Amino acid sequence: MRIRIGSRGSALALWQAEHVKARLAEAGHEVEIVVITTTGDRVLDRRLESVGGKGAFLKEIEEALLARDVDLAVHSLKDVPTALPGGLRLCAFLERADARDALLSSSGRRLAELPQASRIGTTSLRRQAQLRALRPDLVLEDLRGNVDTRIRRLREGRFDAILLAMAGLTRLGRASEVTEALDPATMVPAPGQGAIALECREADAPVAGAVAPLHHPETARAVSAERAFLAALGGGCNVPLGAHATTLPEGLYLRAVVARVDGRRMVRSEARGQDPEAVGRSAAESALSQGARELLGP
């Protein structure tokens, strides 16, 4: 079967697309990668929230799917909103990599050891809010660009430290540059962080069947709980919230946080259970009962 994969052109996006391509090729499929430039790739001088949030990294790829210019999209799940365009669906989740956030510092100091007023680069509202709660003395500055660009700016001395996703660094062979992988209990990851999602047309049974062997059920259960939490709080990716589920012998355990961007108020919640959707909703209900709605804005 011939399958055209739509992918962004960044090194990490292409790694993910090539990984999926290799696995599908092993199963006997003929696979082509089509590089698509998204709004998020083009607009680097404004905050993501002003150009559609993380969904700006998906828009043109999803349009290509609907136009039948490609057959499959490969996404970092943390960039995927809970509401998809009509006619599309997530058809597989690959086994998750390390979901933690990673600190890279020029001095080799860990987060707790950074001097006061150290300059930290991150554009993520979630990371900013949790950092401000942990270390209100730090100076946070926006940092856009791909992984190589962000690390280069750190090495050039523009920042004292930066925050990135551990999974992306591992996939690009740069995990050795990490100063500290942050405990999810301290820095709650984004919903879906570390997981790769495959998206296809809703009615495309052949493509869905081709990628079915790549699906990882345990990852699917965990990220479904995280995305259920996100959906219950409005479904966007542009607010400072985190959710991280792990599998325990007795079922799923979900840890979540919703914060004000300035870090001065933070609501934490957790839930346990067997059903991912119910676990996510339960954690959301707990957060809402503590006033999370007021932290999410209008």
Residue numbers annotated as active site: 79
Inter-residue contact 16 to 7 (CB < 8 Å): yes
* 50 confidence band (pLDDT: 50, 70, 90): very low
189: closest CA among 257, 141, 283, 133?
A: 257
pLDDT at position 53 is 52
Does the pLDDT value for residue 236 go beyond 70? no
**CA atoms of 214 and 182, how far apart (whole Å):** 29
Inter-residue contact 85 to 52 (CB < 8 Å): no
Domains and their CATH numbers in the chain: 2-94+195-215 (3.40.190.10), 101-181 (3.40.190.10), 226-290 (3.30.160.40)
pLDDT at position 51 is 42
pLDDT at position 218 is 97
Amino acid at 202: E
> 5-47, pLDDT tens digit by residue?
999 999 999 999 999 999 999 999 999 999 999 876 665 445 5
214: closest CA among 2, 16, 7?
A: 16
Strand, helix or coil at 214? helix
